[in-house]
Amino acid sequence: MHLSELTHPNQLHGLSIYQLQQIARQIREKHLQTVATIGGHLGPGLGVVELTLALYQTLDLDRDKVIWDVGHQAYPHKLITGRYANFDTLRQKDGIAGYLKRGESKFDHFGAGHASTSISAGLGMALARDAKGENFKVVSVIGDGALTGGMALEAINHAGHLPKTNLLVVLNDNEMSISPNVGAIPRYLNKMRLSSPVQFLTDNLEEQFKNMPFSPELLRLKEGMKRLAVPKVGAVFEELGFTYMGPIDGHNLEELIATFKQAHQHPGPVLVHVATVKGKGYAIAENDQVGYHAQTPFNLATGKANPSSKPKPPGYSKVFGETLSTIAENDPRVIGITAAMATGTGLDIFQKRVPKQYVDVGIAEQHAITLAAGLACEGMRPVAAIYSTFLQRAFDQIIHDVCIQNLPVFFCLDRAGIVGSDGPTHQGMYDIAYLRLIPNMVLMAPKDEAELQRMIVTGINHTSGPIAMRYPRGNGYGVPLMEEGWEELPIGKGEILRQGDDLLLLGYGSMVYPSMQVAEILSEHGIESTVINARFAKPLDTELILPLAEKIGRVVTLEEGCLPGGFGSAVVEALMDADITVPVKRIGVPDILVDHATPDESKAELGLTPPQMAEQILKLFSRQPSPVSV
């Protein structure tokens, strides 16, 4: 059977090991060719090919449910569940999503782009099954990186307390999340994988029994001998109420199939510990598991990214990492904190330059923020660098542990705004709204990479309470960067970039430069605009904004975030509180989910390109009478 003929995972039933191996090879080929051409996640999916095939051969996928944690490792799942033919649309507008998506396939039982959700969701489905008197299997597949998340441990704790609830948890242990794992749990799993008695027994049993037909009985004998020799293997999970099996070779189809069949026969919660290699089958990815977690289009032969047509300015994350490192080298109080995203946030630079001031907590954003609060209590200057979409997970800690106590924690929100092909789970749409409502919080956003540097200084020097800075994904504008002598900005003060008497344009963060472009277009139509770089969404520069709004009489706000509760809402509230009644047009992301596409495609669809925004403004204000001078 060829992979292209697989339209339903139940077609795997009855296939021989040799046939499965051939399909595994074809999955890797398709996976590699697609990601090399259009980009996407690489290492995670390559590592679970055999795991996926073996698991699905032991299930009836018309009834049974498999929940994949995060979902970036589910490309093999997509290829054998009817999406082979249009797999080349992966992560493209109107194409296949990069993560699981309930509306895309009946086999995508739970969508996620954030880690540590699968066990909770799977247990919920299992409890619903039992409550309705139904009979199907539920399997949650979770990586060891996601196991560092508190939510996964909460779910394990709950599931282990339900001995009559059948749930299979498959622990895909590749010793990695995006970056190498940190913490006691990954260290414990690593000991289980590499302990000499386990390796000795595994190697010798393989040698002694390699000529014997593989069977569940042989597997049970092997597992029993391992348990007898090394009673601590799996002890933590068994003490928590799980039947533990493993660790087993995640690339040995025979052993995987036999183990899953055995696991399905056990009542109650079962955990199968599978040892895999991230990037398996592509040597370049195996040797650089961090760099090849995900890739832009690249050359398969060399592994190198396809050259761009022209050099690009440095990315915001790199400027952030370099600037923060320079400051930290001269200030031992500065502590950089990441939640397993060192490379994405630029803190990998910080780690190399000031390793003693670097903290990686694993996939544990809630812990990261309360840890930062504790550091702030003792006079340190904690800098929590976390994607906008991931900081959502620590909303209570921001309120309860930081803002109520008015502690000087500096939140740096990377990937704020429209992020592109990762889709709704990763869009940084909501941080302005969800942070603006909290007392004591200061919010700022730079117009470019040079202003980012000044805002980093501002955030570190702001000792009277919490402060947050949002900045977009991607490259800056190529403005000159300062090597030293950065000055902090006065809190709550914006700047005028352009003067005009017909319209007031208030741009925030990544929308400041587009505001200037809009002003140029409007000028061609005889409308002269004053453009303000707001810099701060909270506190607003009301001393600057309110008199100009009252004088000019027409206001437009521009932001790359959700309109409900966002920057534009803050401006409208300030005008109302000051009893200034002028027409206001808010431009931003409406109350919808933004699907996967390139950022430019999303902006065009949302009407957020400068020509589109100028057209909206022209249509709106051409219908209104000229404001009366006051």
Judge whether residue 403 has pLDDT over 60: yes
Judge whether residue 414 has pLDDT over 90: yes
| Tokens matching residue 556 | 């437009």
Judge whether residue 628 has pLDDT over 50: no
Give per-residue pLDDT as tens, 516-554: 999 999 999 999 999 999 999 999 999 999 999 999 999
Cα separation, 583 vs 481, in Å, equals 38
Cα separation, 471 vs 326, in Å, equals 19
The answer to which of 194-208, 286-300, 448-462, 580-594 has the lowest mean pLDDT is: 194-208
Judge whether residue 179 has pLDDT over 70: no
389 — pLDDT class (breaks 50, 70, 90): very high
What is the Cα Rg of the chain in Å? 27
C-alpha distances out from residue 549 to 14, 235, 501, 506, Å: 72, 67, 10, 10
Which pLDDT score is estimated for 197?
42
Which pLDDT score is estimated for 98?
85
Mean pLDDT of the chain: 89
| Pairwise pLDDT comparison (39 vs 13), residue with the higher score | 13
C-alpha distances out from residue 132 to 135, 169, 197, 268, 291, Å: 9, 22, 45, 17, 46
221 — pLDDT class (breaks 50, 70, 90): low
Judge whether residue 475 has pLDDT over 50: yes
Give per-residue pLDDT as tens, 58-96: 999 999 999 999 888 899 999 999 999 998 998 888 888
Cα separation, 503 vs 553, in Å, equals 7
> Which residues have C-beta within 8 Å of that of residue 260, sequence separation ≥ 6?
54, 55, 58, 168, 272
Dihedral over Cα of 149, 152, 154, 157: its sign: negative
Nearest to 421, CA basis, from 331, 523, 297, 567: 297
Judge whether residue 412 has pLDDT over 80: yes
From the candidates 30, 91, 129, 278, give the one annotated as an active-site residue. Answer: 278
Is residue 516 a contact partner of residue 503, using CB atoms and an 8 Å limit? Answer: no
* Annotated catalytic residue 238: no
Dihedral over Cα of 357, 363, 368, 369: its sign: positive
User: Which domains does the chain possess?
Assistant: 3-195+233-288 (3.40.50.970), 317-470 (3.40.50.970), 496-622 (3.40.50.920)
Hey, what amino acid is at 253? L
| Helix (H), strand (E) at residue 325 | helix 316-329
* Annotated catalytic residue 278: yes
From the candidates 393, 415, 436, 538, give the one annotated as an active-site residue. Answer: 393
Using a pLDDT cut of 90, give the percent of the chain over it.
Answer: 70
629 — pLDDT class (breaks 50, 70, 90): very low
**DSSP character string of 522-591:** HHHTT--EEEEE--EEES--HHHHHHHHHHH--EEEEEEEESTTSHHHHHHHHHHHTT----EEEEEE-S
Cα separation, 334 vs 482, in Å, equals 20
421 — pLDDT class (breaks 50, 70, 90): confident
Helix ranges, 240-294 (H): 253-265, 283-287
From the candidates 365, 449, 550, 559, give the one annotated as an active-site residue. Answer: 365
| Tokens matching residue 308 | 């761009």
Which pLDDT score is estimated for 486?
82
Q: Are strands 269-275 and 294-295 parallel, antiparallel or unpaired?
A: unpaired
Which pLDDT score is estimated for 292?
73
Cα separation, 406 vs 379, in Å, equals 13
Q: Structure pTM?
A: 0.87
